[in-house]
Structure 1
């Protein structure tokens, strides 16, 4: 007989977790404080898990994608039928040339991003790009330069940068309520079997590895709460037989003496757990990539405070809403790419230290 007090099992993977979050949100009225800027016409490149989540997220808001392009047209047609997408493009060039499309969400593998970014931005489209936004800092610098040249917005879709919970916590931290942030500790581990080393997690030709797949979440959260970019970084990384990083331990320190301690693995299950330690409290966040709640434990008396903001099921809506706000002139939303650039600089540096080089970088 099952123990009634037993904690329910967590979803086994990110897709299952997202499905559960959508299910929890779909029967509730969509909030009127998410999409507050003028609406853009969106298209998506790619038809994988994230693209489907994006379409489902928009459906929660009563919106639909205007177009889809994919390497395989048959998949694009099936995607369009499933989600009520108006246009299917035979090529990405047709998408770039469509004057009715304002913004594009790139959801393809990491190593293809820069190719789509170059063309889409040069065509005058605003772009929201799935993590990891590029392979390295040089590629991101190039993409940002193209965006500036053509007067369009480039935004990183890493959910950490867009969840309302972090805006609330950052505002309280900035007010001095928490005191100084001294230490950020972040874990992220998933278990990917070795059975098929050609899958995207272990395949060096698909820019696999822990850093670009999951490290981007941990480092983004760490950087958000640090006063400045870390200048000292020490680490150890273990490589899989394919040459990608399988696990890593990272310690960072910035000029203000704030420390970040990060552990990553794609071959062992770990909790997605963050602890941000301040003078007056520590903040604990579980399942932090799309978190909508956190617990504050106050140093003076051990009192526990629960903070909630946003809804996990709307994670991709928050990303798209931030791009629309940035296009409308919101400086805070536009500045998110600066945090993304700092994170990319760290990831590029760490992969170099570990000897992880992708074919496109050779």
Structure 2
């Protein structure tokens, strides 16, 4: 496998998880950047990162960096993505990849024009269990999909300064867990429905490892099959491996087009709500 040098922007909790995944998959991390020097040097020492940059722009232009991983609040993703792509770097950005569909359309076009890979950090796009479920769908073992029902929730203590609540940081559930629910549904919404004879139940779906398949034999009789794949603890490892595979093969298996559809769906919801993060 080709060696890729990753540069991380941000040192929050998800950056810590990704750093662990990068160390496990690649054995090393090339660089990390954060204007907060205390957090920067603590992170670099803990995660054994070779190079540190107080200014993210300097890391982005480092000729030895192949991939920029963006782990900052989503409000800053758009600017960092553009800078990285214009510097000739592949980009892996945490969700939400941008705060609007317009922004995402723009950076997708930029990535394509420069023949670079741009990917969003939805773990569910990379968990092995979904490949098994898609295989079942592709061979018509589940019949045609008529309905996708998704439930996802969480509870956090209210803090107006936290990115989960602060509107100026594009906070709120819509771009956080709402993106997961929409992305999950979108993966299974390209089938024309006729008759539903079976259904699949997947719990903890952002990092799922098990799917329960129910076969409805008649009006009263059911049989069940449990499908397992992957390890939830390695969710970010799968992201790293897929990102590097995308670069090596020169395309992303259509993953970014799913993110684009999700962004447009969430944008319509925001328009209906009359919500504008840029206010």
TM-score, normalization: structure 1? Answer: 0.73
Q: Deviations over 1:81-138 (max 9, x none)?
A: 0010000012112111211110011010011000100100110000000000000111
Q: Give the superposition deviation at 1:257.
A: 6.0
Answering whether residue 170 of structure 2 is matched by residue 207 of structure 1, we say yes
User: What is the match of residue 305 of structure 1?
Assistant: 225
**1:30-41 paired onto structure 2 within 5 Å:** 37-41=1-5
2: CA distance between counterparts of 1:311 and 1:122? Answer: 35
Q: Map of 1:266-281 to 2, 5 A cutoff?
A: 279-281=196-198
Which runs of 5 or more structure 2 residues have no equivalent in the other structure? Answer: none
Match of 1:162 in 2: 126
Q: Which structure 1 residue ranges, 4+ long, deviate > 2 Å from structure 2?
A: 58-62
How high is the TM-score relative to the length of structure 2? 0.94
Question: CA offset at residue 61 of structure 1?
Answer: 3.0
Which range is displaced more, 99-108 or 294-303?
Answer: 294-303
Q: Which residue of 2 aligns with 1:327?
A: 247
Q: Deviations over 1:148-195 (max 9, x none)?
A: 22221100111111111111101110111110011111111111233x
Matched, 1:293 2:210: yes
Contact 1:323 1:334 in 2 (8 A): no
Counterpart selection for 1:223 from 183, 186, 195? 186
**Distance across 2 between alignment mates of 1:162 and 1:121:** 23
Q: Secondary structure at the match of 1:211?
A: coil
In structure 2, what is the Cα distance between the partners aligned to 1:44 and 1:184?
A: 35
Please give the alpha-carbon distance, in whole angstroms, between the structure 1 residues aligned to 2:139 and 2:206.
Answer: 24
| Residue equivalent to 1:111 | 75
Deviation at 1:330, TM superposition (A): 5.5
Question: Could you tell me which of 122, 143, 151 is aligned with 2:107?
Answer: 143
- CA change 1:135–1:78 in 2 (3 A) is same
SS at match of 2:176: helix
Cα distance in 2 between the residues matched to 1:59 and 1:46: 17
Choose the corresponding residue for 1:351, options 249, 257, 270.
270
After TM superposition, the structure 1 = structure 2 runs for residues 1-362 of structure 1, keeping only pairs within 5 Å, are 37-61=1-25, 63-194=27-158, 196-227=159-190, 256=192, 279-300=196-217, 301-329=221-249, 331=251, 333-359=252-278, 362=279
Report Cα offsets for 1:206-235 as digits up to 9, x if no partner: 10111101011111010001117xxxxxxx
Q: Distance in 1 between matches of 2:114 and 2:236?
A: 25
Higher strand share: 1
Separation (CA, whole Å) in 1 of partners of 2:26 and 2:132: 26
Q: How far 1:62 sits from its partner (Å)?
A: 5.6
**Offset at 1:58?**
2.4
CA separation in 2, counterparts of 1:58 and 1:153? 18
